[in-house]
Amino acid sequence: MAQSSLNDDSIVLRYIDSTPREEIHPGALAFYASLDEIRRNSPDVAASIVRELVSQRSNVKLIASENYSSLATQLAQGNLFTDKYAEGYPHHRFYAGCENVDDIEDEACALALELFGAEHAYVQPHSGADANLVAFLAILGVTVESPALERLGVKSPVPVPGEDWSKLREELQGRRLLAMDFFSGGHLSHGYRFNLSSRLFDAYTYTVDRETKLLDLDAVRARAQEVKPHILLAGYSSYTRAIDFARVREIADEVGAVLMVDMAHFSGLVAGKVFTGDFDPVPHAHVVSSTTHKTLRGPRGGLVLCKEQFADAVDKGCPTVLGGPLPQVIAAKAVSFREALQPAFSEYAHRIVENARTLAEELQSRGMAVPTGGTDNHIVLADVDTTYGLTGWQAEGVLRECGLTLNRNVLPFDPIGPWYTSGLRLGTSAITTLGMGAEEIAEIADVIHAVLSQTEAATPAAGEDERKAKKGRYEVPTSVIETARARTRDLLDRYPVYPEIDLGVISSTDFGRQTLPEQGSAAPSAVAS
């Protein structure tokens, strides 16, 4: 491998030379060193990493599914574990030399069990959607495939003759899945027509109540009795209320369904003991899937927890569904799970919800229509169509211009549809990580209202598609954007993203022909030199 020594234009040396020894931060040191190493061969990649930090420092992150992981979590991923294949599960691998992967996977699983009080944990899924596939296939494996194999007198699918295998595949496919409708807040991977889950299952949905936009468990029960699903799936990406999972389990039991809960969005609130007792899915569901990077604040990835009955099948996630595990991400999961076990994480999780409640109240006090009237979790939905006559697309676009990053979202029974949408989804996990509280939330709500109330759908130009212009473009005075930008910049100056990293030691000439973006006051001016 090529060797190099640090030269005069080394970023890490510049940092060391300009920083008193006692102020040197190991995470920042590692960040600068990584830029030096990456830019030797790939200056464009190094420049993009810096640009992303600049972008994140210049915009308030209100995307409900994002957060800021610790530098320790990030650094656990940037190492030689990425070189290792480890198909199988701890101490049962298809490759030699997996002892160290076993250690980190054992550690991540043990910490997940401690964090969630589950009977079994599987930490290999690469994403939440992958975790859902692992869960689906494990449930089908235990409830359909294993009994069929037993009837055939074999333990593995390999020796099953072709004709019997065709019958078994027919038995496996087209089982009924009952999950929350995408427009009511369910996820794509819960049986939405564009997703594999709708091919694997005969998928049915339940919705929130048309008037209150709340989940009515009596209605879910009636729907479950009508559909008689094989799997009853609870969980969401854009629903704002706590769910009584004890009652959902009763419904599943009544109709003989397996209960699966997708807690991808709110797993940090479960780990942080915001959702406890009947509202904690882990004791009640047969199988629970999750991501690790949303409220849980870990690396981008997935997780499955389950009752012992499903453990062996879940552990076969690779090769059933997944490609080889990513040991470097599993290492980072272990780091973040340990962080989440600290008392400070529980305080953080409670503050996320307080902040979301405050955000819902502050928006409503300025006239915003908020479906369900508030929130019990980290998500706030806002109906910008009803309130301002704008589409979610327009609101998302103009707010991003003002330094607020969020995503447009369908609302229940959305009259506009899934592309332009009627709503916004806002989340408080990331700004809570930065330390923002009630005062800053009020400021954010005020900026949102000031901007959206002065934004209008564009007037179509001659010959322009009227529908596209009215839904996709907007008009807003430049002064409105400038004022809002100054306000969000002020917030970000007070709550910097990764404050350990001083961009002042980086120069645009560090990246060859790459130039870095014009900086606002949220990032040191030296970056633009």
List residues near ligand DSN by CB under 6 A.
65, 128, 187, 237
Name residue 178's beta-bridge partners. 204, 232
Q: Closer CB to ligand DSN, residue 143 or residue 429? A: 429
E strand spans, 65-221: 88-89, 92-93, 120-122, 175-180, 201-206
Q: Closer CB to ligand DSN, residue 128 or residue 235? A: 128
Q: What's the closest the beta carbon of residue 187 comes to ligand DSN, in angstroms?
A: 6
SS (H, E, C) 481-526: HHHHHHHHHHHHHHCCCCCCCCHHHCCHHHHCCCCCCCCCCCCCHH
C-alpha to C-alpha distance for 178 and 395, rounded to whole angstroms: 33
C-alpha to C-alpha distance for 410 and 351, rounded to whole angstroms: 26
Q: Closer CB to ligand DSN, residue 128 or residue 229? A: 128
C-alpha to C-alpha distance for 444 and 62, rounded to whole angstroms: 10
Q: What's the closest the beta carbon of residue 436 comes to ligand DSN, in angstroms?
A: 20
Q: Closer CB to ligand DSN, residue 238 or residue 455? A: 238
Q: Closer CB to ligand DSN, residue 261 or residue 501? A: 261
C-alpha to C-alpha distance for 372 and 394, rounded to whole angstroms: 23
**In the complex, residue closest to ligand DSN by CB:** 65
Q: What's the closest the beta carbon of residue 65 comes to ligand DSN, in angstroms?
A: 3
**Tokens, residue 359:** 């955000």
Q: What's the closest the beta carbon of residue 237 comes to ligand DSN, in angstroms?
A: 4
C-alpha to C-alpha distance for 92 and 413, rounded to whole angstroms: 48
**Tokens, residue 186:** 């369910």
CB 240 within 8 A of CB 379: yes
Q: What's the closest the beta carbon of residue 294 comes to ligand DSN, in angstroms?
A: 7
Q: What's the closest the beta carbon of residue 11 comes to ligand DSN, in angstroms?
A: 33
Q: Closer CB to ligand DSN, residue 65 or residue 240? A: 65
E strand spans, 60-157: 60-61, 88-89, 92-93, 120-122
Q: What's the closest the beta carbon of residue 396 comes to ligand DSN, in angstroms?
A: 13
**Measured in whole angstroms, how far is the alpha carbon of residue 203 from the centre of its chain?**
24
Q: Closer CB to ligand DSN, residue 237 or residue 372? A: 237
